[in-house]
């Protein structure tokens, strides 16, 4: 049976004669206004339990969404359920407003209104929605490093609504940082990076709790820093810290989002061996031993293109959000390499090392080591 479509003006007239008008959009869509007199029932809720929301099957029912597509689909569902007088409003709320018909705005408390408006573009994504956004709001992320990689990662994690960001860095802002570490500004020179970062992130999204920790990550405090954390983002710039974070994440079963940059090249991956022994590699599977210092100079020694950490840090934020939401395919088992000069990505498959010193299946945690000495001696 063909779905009956009527104009907003026709719907308004029928509404005056007793037809039930139902706005089937989600709550965040109704913030901009809904047709006056409409009952707000989300599409999935109405289709799943129409009998509890609607009068008898012979009562006229008018359905409205944003543009008319969803209301037509729901009208078909109701017709199949036996409703005999169902109509979809052509053009939806957009057409209703264009015709100058009256609209009302739902009354929400300030916090709920802020949540729905701030994350409205996320809420439109079926893969996120209200449930996913609430999951982000309840998430805890440890971000190690408030520098080149940590700056873009922190900005986008905070903007996305990750509820708790534990930010660890023991450094202070230097003028040479400003070329790439976009969390910081001229006025912050000489202040702790975590304090500078906290100020900027709080200004971006006051809903996010920023926990600044001005400390060096060591074997003595790493497990306390990982306590209660869902995902670890590694924005460090030295091998001892990368090995330490990897070992702690394997031991405690935390996913580690890795990134590194040098000159014009960067790379990113996810190491999730702690939760998936024998299936996913860890950082040591990729680098069983650190390279000699002359083959891995720091950014201070070799230099780095300012935008490069931004690109890699955004990739890390993307991976962290996917892990928190449980969507998509992570970079676990893959190393994504980026060449900024050639503007080319290359992907390498990474297999878990069955004899890895830390993540091999059945192997007990060997304990933390002197990571500085391990890296200085090349293993």
3-state SS assignment for residue 83: coil
Q: Which residue has the tokens 């290359």?
A: 346
Instruction: State the Cα–Cα distance between residues 154 and 314, nearest whole angstrom.
Output: 9
SS3 217: coil
164 burial type by CB count under 10 A (0-12 exposed, 13-18 middle, 19+ buried): middle
Query: Is 299 labeled as catalytic in the residue annotation?
Result: yes
What whole-number distance in Å separates Cα of residue 39 and Cα of residue 16? 14
Of the candidates 65, 249, 299, 375, the residue annotated as catalytic is 299
- Which DSSP state fits 329? -
Please tell me the distance from the alpha carbon of residue 270 to that of residue 324, in angstroms, as a whole number: 13
Query: What CA–CA distance (Å, rounded) separates 175 from 196?
Result: 13
Judge whether 75 and 63 are in contact, CB under 8 Å.
Answer: yes
Q: How far apart are CA 313 and CA 264, in angstroms?
A: 14
- What is the bridge-based pairing of β-strands 265-271 and 256-262? antiparallel
Q: For the range 40-47, what are the long-range contacts, defined as Cβ-Cβ under 8 Å and sequence gap of 24 or more?
A: 40/106, 43/70, 43/73, 43/74, 46/22, 46/74, 47/74, 47/77, 47/78
Please report the DSSP string for 153-178 in residue order.
HHHHHHHHT-SEEEEE---B--GGGG
Active site residues: 299
């Amino acid at each position: 049976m063909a779905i009956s479509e009527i104009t907003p003006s026709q719907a308004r007239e029928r509404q005056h004669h007793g037809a039930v008008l139902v706005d089937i959009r989600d709550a965040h869509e109704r913030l901009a206004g809904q047709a006056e007199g409409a009952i707000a029932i989300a599409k999935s809720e109405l289709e799943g339990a129409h009998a509890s929301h609607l009068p008898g099957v012979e009562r006229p029912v008018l359905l409205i969404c944003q543009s008319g597509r969803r209301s037509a689909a729901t009208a078909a569902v109701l017709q199949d359920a036996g409703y005999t007088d169902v109509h979809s409003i052509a053009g939806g709320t957009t057409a209703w407003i264009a015709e100058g018909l009256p609209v009302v705005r739902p009354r929400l408390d300030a916090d709920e209104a802020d949540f729905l408006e701030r994350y409205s573009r996320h809420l439109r994504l079926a893969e996120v929605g209200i449930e996913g956004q609430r999951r982000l709001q309840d998430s805890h992320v440890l971000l190690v490093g408030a520098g080149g990689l940590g700056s873009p990662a922190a900005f986008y994690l905070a903007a996305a609504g990750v509820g708790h960001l534990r930010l660890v860095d023991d450094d202070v802002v230097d003028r040479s940082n400003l070329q790439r570490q976009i969390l910081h500004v001229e006025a912050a020179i000489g202040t702790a990076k975590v304090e500078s970062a906290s100020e900027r992130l709080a200004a971006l999204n006051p809903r996010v709790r920023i926990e600044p920790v001005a400390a060096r990550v060591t074997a003595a405090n790493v497990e306390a820093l990982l306590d209660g954390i869902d995902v670890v983002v590694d924005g460090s710039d030295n091998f001892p810290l990368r090995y330490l974070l990897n070992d702690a994440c394997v031991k405690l079963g935390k996913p580690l989002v890795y990134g590194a940059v040098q000159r014009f090249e960067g790379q990113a991956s996810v190491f999730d061996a702690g939760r998936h022994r024998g299936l996913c590699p860890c950082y040591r599977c990729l680098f069983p031993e650190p390279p000699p210092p002359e083959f891995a100079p720091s950014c201070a020694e070799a230099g780095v293109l300012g935008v490069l950490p931004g690109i890699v840090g955004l990739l890390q934020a993307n991976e962290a959000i996917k892990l928190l939401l449980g969507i998509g395919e992570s970079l676990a088992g893959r190393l994504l390499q980026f060449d900024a000069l050639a503007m080319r990505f290359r992907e390498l498959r990474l297999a878990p090392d069955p004899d890895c010193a830390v993540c091999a299946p059945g192997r007990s945690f060997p304990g933390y080591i002197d990571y500085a000495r391990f890296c200085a001696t090349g293993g």
